[in-house]
């Protein structure tokens, strides 16, 4: 059996790699002089990297921070695809598949964040003000 890292078992990680694979040919056909191309390349790469790093963290707050960064990068990718459409470098039907994948990635990341942050809450402790006893 091939050794596998824990993050490689995550469906959201595999989906994010699928997005990178999907977006690469789109990026290759658009002039790199357009700023959003570099931004989209970096943001799409950031999604699986943050998922992997976050999944390797030991504490829930650390995991959530990286998962939230990945979520932010996925949202940035969706906006970058919109910018490409607005600039006439792609049409809506061309970016639809990528945006559908990003919706799934964001949804899964929100689930991971909620699953990890639910354990962070402590029961409220009543506080007293003054010296009343």
Could you report the per-residue pLDDT of 84-128, keeping only the tens digit for each? 999 999 999 999 999 999 999 999 999 999 999 865 455 566 666
Task: Kindly report, residue by residue over 5-62, the tens digit of the pLDDT.
Answer: 999 999 999 999 999 999 999 999 999 999 999 999 999 999 999 999 999 999 999 9
CATH T-level topology, domain 7-116: de novo design (two linked rop proteins) (1.20.1440)
Report pLDDT for 69. Answer: 98
Please give the DSSP secondary-structure letter assigned to residue 32: T
Give the residue among 67, 71, 50, 60 at the shortest CA–CA distance from 118.
60
**Gap between the Cα atoms of 89 and 3, Å rounded:** 41
Give me the residue spans of the domains in the chain: 7-116
Q: Residue 101's pLDDT is what? A: 98
Rounded to whole angstroms, the Cα distance separating 68 from 92 reads 27
Q: How many residues does the chain have?
A: 133
Cβ 95 vs Cβ 85: under 8 Å? yes
DSSP 14-26: HHHHHHHHHHHHH
What pLDDT score was predicted for residue 123? 59
């Amino acid at each position: 059996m091939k050794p596998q890292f824990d993050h490689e078992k995550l469906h959201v990680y595999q989906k994010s790699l699928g997005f990178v694979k999907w977006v690469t040919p789109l990026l290759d056909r658009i002039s790199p002089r357009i700023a959003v191309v570099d931004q989209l390349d970096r943001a799409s790469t950031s999604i699986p990297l943050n998922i992997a790093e976050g999944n390797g963290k030991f504490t829930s707050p650390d995991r959530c921070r990286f998962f939230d960064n990945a979520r932010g990068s996925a949202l940035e990718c969706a906006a970058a695809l919109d910018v490409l459409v607005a600039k006439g470098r792609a049409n809506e039907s061309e970016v639809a598949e990528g945006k559908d994948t990003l919706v799934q990635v964001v949804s899964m990341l929100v689930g991971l964040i909620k699953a990890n942050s639910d354990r962070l809450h402590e029961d409220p402790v009543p506080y007293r003000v003054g010296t009343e006893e």
